[in-house]
Amino acid sequence: MTIIEVKTGKSKRVDVVPVNVEGLKILTKKRYFFSWKKEKAHTQLYKLCIVGEDDILGVMALVDVPGDRRMEIKLLVSSKENVGKEKMYDRIAGCLVGFACKESVKRYGDLACVSLKPKTELREHYRNKYGMIDAGLQLCVEGLSLIKLINKYLI
Amino acid sequence: MNAKEIMNKYTTKELADAFVLSSNLTSKQKKQADAELKIARTKTQSEMADKDRLVLKLMQLKFQIEDYLKSESFNPKFTFSYFLKEYVGILNKKRKYFAREINIDETELSQLINQHRLPNDNIMVRLEIHSNNSISAVSWCKLVEKEKEHALKTNVSLRQKEKKYVTNKLTVHIR
């Protein structure tokens, strides 16, 4: 799993792991936009770091819905310096979405699915970027599109 | 900065590149959303190609093996035999046909699956080739090693038995 340094075009290997209590303290609203303590109460949080480094470049709140055999992305953010035109690294969000796909496949195999309830304004972008399909108010990805996301971001 | 401020500060493309932002739904809307999702998924699941189903099942097996090998804990269920049985199950083939495909006797395959025999290097390489390199021989080998490591670590009787063959034991030790 790699992200790209925009300035140099160099790839950096990254890892996604659960956020522990110590990690939660680092996730300030100033740099990571939201109150992650609140999210932690009802989701599993994951952080993305460059291999061998502690700095958190992205965070994701994921919910397992075993009854529907799917994982739902409740919230995902890249750290402040990785948003917008001046961002340092590319592919942070993609790698986290790819990780969610992997977790879903690990649990549910061919029935795996990743879903989200997007803000209306972003719907079309998620469809194009991640190959998600309309499922009423939600978007979801499964089957071949899920395989493609895993191959693009994880392998 | 709340979600509204974020939405105002960046373009929608910049937002989609860096965030997944969910809309706030009422509990009624959530129920509706879940019902719609189920309907949409019934359709996509029924249309999924057999090839994609096989790839996803293989990925599941590969990720489970990788995760287990990465973890430090030992799980008596997750043996070489268990994962081999899973692999053959994914292929949805009778054991005698699979045994033929990797050129071993059906009895030998049964012994491998039922933990009556450990695989040699040839078998592990054949499994790698059969899976078109999806699951490497090294992964199969590490599963066997993990079992051996646990058996060696926990074999108290062997330690008792071998004690008598060791003399002039060190008086210092390191942790």
pLDDT digits (tens, 9 = 90+) for B40-84: 999 999 999 999 999 999 999 999 999 999 998 999 999 999 999
Q: Is A135 helix (H, G, I), strand (E, B) or coil?
A: strand
Q: Work out the pLDDT band at B125, boundaries 50, 70, 90.
A: very high
pLDDT score for B38? 94
Q: Which of A51, A106, A130 to mutate to test the interface with B (most CBs of B within 10 A)?
A: A106
Within B102-175, residue ranges assigned H as helices are 106-113, 121-130, 137-153, 156-163
Cross-chain residue pair B37–A76, CB shorter than 8 Å: no
What is the pLDDT averaged over residues B118-141? 96
Cβ within 8 Å of A, B 32-71:
32-41, 44-45, 48-49, 52-57, 59-60, 63-64, 67
pLDDT score for B9? 86
State both tokens at B61: 């097996």
State both tokens at A100: 């969610």
Q: Work out the pLDDT band at B1, boundaries 50, 70, 90.
A: low
- Helix or strand run (H / E) with residue A14: strand A11-18
**CB of A105 closer than 8 Å to CB of A112:** yes
- In this prediction the pTM is 0.90
Q: Where are the beta strands (DSSP E) in A19-116?
A: 44-50, 56-65, 70-78, 89-90, 113-116
pLDDT at residue B134 tops 90: yes
- φ/ψ of residue B41, rounded to 5: -70, -35
Considering only CA atoms, which of A53, A54, A73, A55 is closest in space to residue A63? A73
What is the pLDDT averaged over residues B8-24? 90
pLDDT score for A73? 97
Q: Is A77 helix (H, G, I), strand (E, B) or coil?
A: strand
Cross-chain residue pair B10–A87, CB shorter than 8 Å: no
**CB of B45 closer than 8 Å to CB of A142:** yes
Cross-chain residue pair A68–B18, CB shorter than 8 Å: no
The pLDDT > 70 percentage for chain B reads: 99
Whole-angstrom distance, CA of residue B159 vs CA of residue A89:
54
For chain A, the straight-line distance linking the first and the last C-alpha, in angstroms and rounded, comes to: 6
Query: Which residue stretches of chain A have pLDDT < 70?
Result: none
Beta carbons within 8 Å of A15's beta carbon, 6+ residues apart: A1, A48, A49, A51
**CB of A9 closer than 8 Å to CB of A30:** no
Count Cα atoms within 13 angstroms, Cβ side, for A33: 25
pLDDT at residue B4 tops 80: no
How far off is chain A from B164, nearest CA to CA, in Å?
Answer: 46
**CB of A5 closer than 8 Å to CB of A48:** no
Cα angle vertex A22, ends A16, A25, to 5°? 100
Whole-angstrom distance, CA of residue A154 vs CA of residue A152:
6
